[in-house]
């Protein structure tokens, strides 16, 4: 066991590969070039590189915006607001979701809900939880044109219609910023344009929702600032971002591309954000790191030779990690003090992901395949798409091979009972086929892991779970309802996965339960 600061690791078969990656990164002055914003670390083409590194120096700017952010929240509290709804997708919603699940409601905060689903029951639940006269509706979108978010906005604008109850976080000059000013919304937070969605947790996109929830958002930023100097170090014994990035990249290149994350229960929700950061950044051009989150540790014999285990903080199964290492699986454990350290963890993992991109030889800031499912969804809504022929579930399951991963993609009501049932099925699939598994709710994952599914290693086996919607609601100004939009998104993703020649089956919860029982 090697102790390096707050990290211990037993890399076993990966040791030489990680050492070689670190030596290569040192020879390329990777850390210095990252902080110098040298896009040639990843590609000679500066497109979606030179203009995507603002996250490296946004922290001081956010602290300088304290009066703006805190003044906004103080005004809401003074006016009697008690609730807030964040409407966004992907990088605009996942860190706010981490906030709501990791911090208790503060005395000076609002009751925060995050809406990133087109499932009509999910929309109805937010309506029921949010008194319309005392709720702020925060629309969060970098582009300002995300179909789910704009649909949510128009739905609540139609219901409430008071501009003093609406605010936006977006890029300057976006259609959303223009609309907010035309309608006279309470506030427009304009984020830096050189920060991509999945790297935006420590900008307005993540910090305004944190402030609304009463979280010490400035404390999160200060924790991140406290690790900047170590993240600038070229020494992997000092710089956790450098070491992690090298380990992730070398592991993927060695065939161990399933990064299995075991997180401290206090920050279990952090996996949602990490999943998008890693999957969307690295999953392209046939390579990538497949993040495995919320998969409880199991017996050693259910794991193949495609795993790298990384634990953060105090995890429930320290003996299990030791046993895995003894059996030859690479294992690393990272220290974690308290939940306020999430700010530092965000920056550490952002640096790690950027470094991993340099190891893999890909651009960690673009998402070349994300638009495909969006375009297919629009074609479905326009009546210009044809679904692929149905594939029997047993045929897809019979095609599972060592090194694959099974992805359960649930376009169903995000009800606890349904989610628990699917999580149980997930573990049964892992134990039966001895492959890594993921579980995600649709359409959320389209803005998170969808890039990896189409652009990453072609080892995914996709089980699209669908079901009827007992309730529905129309989208004002559009010729579709939320149920129709959700179904079109499921259809669009099915079409796109099929076009890539990937293994995919559409099933119901009952069919999936029967198949694994």
With 60 as the cut, is the pLDDT of residue 4 above it?
no
Q: Please check whether residue 50 lies inside any domain of the structure.
A: no
Residue 156 predicted with pLDDT over 60: yes
**Contact indicator for 490, 383 with CB cutoff of 8 Å:** no
Q: List, for residues 256-265, the tens digit of each pLDDT value.
A: 999 999 999 9
Residue 354 lies in a domain: yes
Domain count, the chain: 3
Look up the CATH number of the domain holding residue 188. 3.40.50.10490
Peptide bond between residue 443 and the one before it cis (omega within 30 degrees of 0): yes
Q: Residue 1's pLDDT is what?
A: 33
- Maximum C-alpha span of the chain: 63
Cβ(153)–Cβ(139) below 8 Å: yes
Decide: 423 and 456 in contact? Cβ < 8 Å: no
283 and 396, same domain (yes or no): no
pLDDT of 319 > 70? The answer is no
Task: Average the pLDDT over 405-409 and give the result.
Answer: 99
Tokens 């999160």 sit on residue:
220
Is residue 228 in some structural domain? no
Q: Does residue 37 lie in a domain region? A: yes
Residue 2's pLDDT is 35
Specify whether 356 is located in the same domain as 386.
Answer: no
Q: 231 pLDDT band (50/70/90 cuts)?
A: very high
- Per-residue pLDDT of 457-516, as tens digits, reads 999 999 999 999 999 999 999 999 999 999 999 999 999 999 999 999 999 999 999 999
Residue 346 in tokens: 């965000």
Question: Quick one: tokens of 145?
Answer: 């044109």
Cβ neighbours of residue 430 under 8 Å, at least 6 residues apart? Answer: 295, 298, 302, 406, 436, 437
Same structural domain for residues 199 and 250?
A: no
Q: Are residues 75 and 194 in the same domain?
A: yes
Q: Is residue 55 part of a domain?
A: no
Q: Which of 95, 99, 121 has the alpha carbon at shortest distance from 112?
A: 99
The reply to whether 278 and 383 lie within a common domain is no
70 Cβ neighbours under 8 A, 6+ residues apart: 211
- β pairing state of 83-87 and 111-115: parallel
Q: State what percent of residues in the chain have pLDDT above 70.
A: 98
Q: What is the reported pLDDT for 318? A: 57
Rounded Cα–Cα distance for residues 134 and 113 (Å): 13
Task: Choose one of 322, 338, 360: the last residue of a domain.
Answer: 360
Asked whether residue 399 falls in the same domain as residue 496, the answer is yes
Strands (E), 293-386: 307-312, 331-334
Query: For the segment 60-79, what is each residue's pLDDT rounded down to a tens digit?
Result: 999 999 999 999 999 999 99
Residue 193 shares a structural domain with residue 261: no
Indicate if 264 and 353 belong to the same structural domain.
Answer: yes
Do 391 and 460 reside in the same domain of the chain? yes
Cβ atoms of 288 and 120 within 8 Å: the answer is no
Average pLDDT, the chain: 96
Q: Is residue 57 assigned to a domain? A: no
DSSP letters, 220-282, are: HHHHHHHTHHHHT-S-TTT-HHHHHHHHHHHHHHTT--EEEEEE-GGGTTHHHHHHHHHHHHH
Please state, in angstroms and rounded to a whole number, the distance separating the CA atoms of residues 258 and 12. Answer: 16
Task: With cut-offs at 50, 70 and 90, classify the pLDDT of residue 415.
Answer: confident
The closest alpha carbon to 407, from 436, 428, 378, 379, belongs to 436
Please, are residues 97 and 293 in contact by the beta-carbon 8 Å criterion? no
**Lowest model confidence (mean pLDDT) among 1-10, 273-282, 391-400:** 1-10
End position of a domain, from candidates 223, 247, 277? 223
**Rounded to the nearest 5°, which phi and psi values hold at 371?**
-65, -20
The Cα 313–Cα 8 span in angstroms is 11
CA distance 98 to 277: 13
Q: Which residues span the domain enclosing 104?
A: 65-223
Question: Which DSSP string do the residues of 131-171 spell out, in sequence order?
Answer: -GGGEEEEEE-SSS--HHHHHHHHHHHHHT--GGGEEEEE-
Give the pLDDT of residue 334.
Answer: 95
Q: pLDDT tens for residues 198-214?
A: 999 999 999 999 999 99
**Bridge-based pairing state of the strands 405-411 and 307-312:** unpaired
Tens digits of residue pLDDT in 333-375: 999 999 999 999 999 999 999 999 999 999 999 999 999 999 9
The verdict on 82 and 202 lying in the same domain is yes
Q: Is the same domain home to 81 and 121?
A: yes
In the predicted structure, residue 248 carries a pLDDT above the cut 70: yes
pLDDT at res. 398 = 97
Whether 309 contacts 437, CB under 8 Å: no
Confidence class of residue 106 from pLDDT cuts 50, 70 and 90?
A: low
100, 114 contact by CB (below 8 A) = yes
Is 49 part of any domain? no
Q: What is the reported pLDDT for 3?
A: 36
Domain final residue pick, 195, 223, 251: 223
Interval 21-28 mean pLDDT = 99
Whether residue 307 is contained in a domain is answered as: yes
pLDDT bin (cut points 50, 70, 90) of residue 5 is very low
> Is 391 in the same domain as 341?
no
């Amino acid at each position: 066991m090697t102790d390096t600061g707050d990290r211990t690791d037993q890399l076993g078969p990966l040791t030489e590969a990680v050492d070689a990656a670190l030596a290569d990164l040192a020879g390329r002055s990777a850390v210095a070039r990252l902080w110098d914003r040298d896009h040639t670390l990843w590609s000679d083409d500066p497109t979606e590189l030179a203009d995507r590194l603002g996250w490296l120096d946004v922290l001081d700017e956010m602290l300088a915006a304290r009066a703006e952010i805190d003044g906004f929240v103080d005004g809401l509290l003074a006016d009697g607001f008690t609730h807030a709804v964040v409407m966004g997708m992907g990088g605009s919603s996942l860190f706010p979701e981490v906030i709501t699940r990791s911090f208790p409601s503060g005395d000076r905060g609002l009751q925060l809900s995050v809406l990133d689903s087109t499932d009509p029951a999910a929309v109805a639940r937010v309506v029921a939880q949010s008194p319309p006269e005392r709720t702020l509706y925060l629309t969060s979108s970098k582009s300002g044109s995300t179909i789910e978010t704009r649909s949510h906005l128009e739905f609540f604008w139609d219901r409430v219609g008071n501009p003093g109850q609406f605010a936006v976080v977006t890029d300057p000059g976006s259609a959303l910023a223009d609309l907010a000013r035309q309608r006279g919304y309470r506030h427009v937070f304009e984020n830096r344009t050189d920060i991509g969605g999945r790297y935006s947790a420590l900008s307005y996109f993540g910090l305004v929702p944190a402030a609304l929830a009463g979280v010490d958002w400035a404390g999160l930023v200060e924790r991140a600032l406290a690790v900047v100097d170590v993240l600038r170090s070229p020494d992997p014994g000092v710089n956790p971002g450098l070491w992690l990035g090298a380990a992730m990249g070398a592991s993927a290149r060695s065939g161990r591309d399933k990064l299995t994350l075991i997180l401290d229960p206090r920050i279990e929700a952090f996996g949602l954000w990490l999943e998008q950061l890693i999957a969307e950044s690295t999953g392209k051009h046939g390579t990538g790191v497949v993040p495995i989150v919320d998969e409880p540790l199991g017996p050693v014999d259910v794991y193949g030779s495609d795993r790298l285990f990384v634990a953060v903080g105090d995890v429930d199964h320290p003996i299990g990690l030791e046993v895995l290492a003894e059996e030859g699986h690479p294992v690393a454990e990272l220290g974690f003090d308290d939940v306020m350290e999430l700010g530092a963890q965000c920056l550490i993992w952002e640096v790690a992901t950027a470094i991993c991109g340099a190891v893999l030889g890909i651009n960690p800031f673009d998402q070349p395949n994300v638009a495909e499912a969006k375009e297919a969804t629009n074609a479905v809504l326009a009546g210009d798409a044809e679904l692929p022929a149905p594939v029997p579930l047993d045929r897809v399951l019979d095609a599972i091979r060592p090194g694959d991963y099974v992805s359960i993609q649930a376009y169903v009501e995000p009800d606890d009972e349904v989610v628990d049932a699917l999580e149980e099925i997930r573990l049964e699939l892992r134990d039966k086929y001895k492959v890594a598994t993921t579980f995600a709710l649709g359409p959320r994952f389209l803005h998170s892991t969808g890039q990896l599914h189409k652009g990453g290693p072609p080892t995914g086996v996709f089980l699209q779970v669908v079901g009827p919607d007992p309730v529905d609601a129309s989208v004002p100004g559009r010729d579709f309802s939320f149920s129709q939009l959700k179904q079109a998104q499921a259809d669009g993703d099915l079409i796109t996965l099929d076009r890539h020649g990937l293994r995919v089956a559409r099933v119901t919860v009952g069919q999936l339960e029967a198949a694994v029982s």
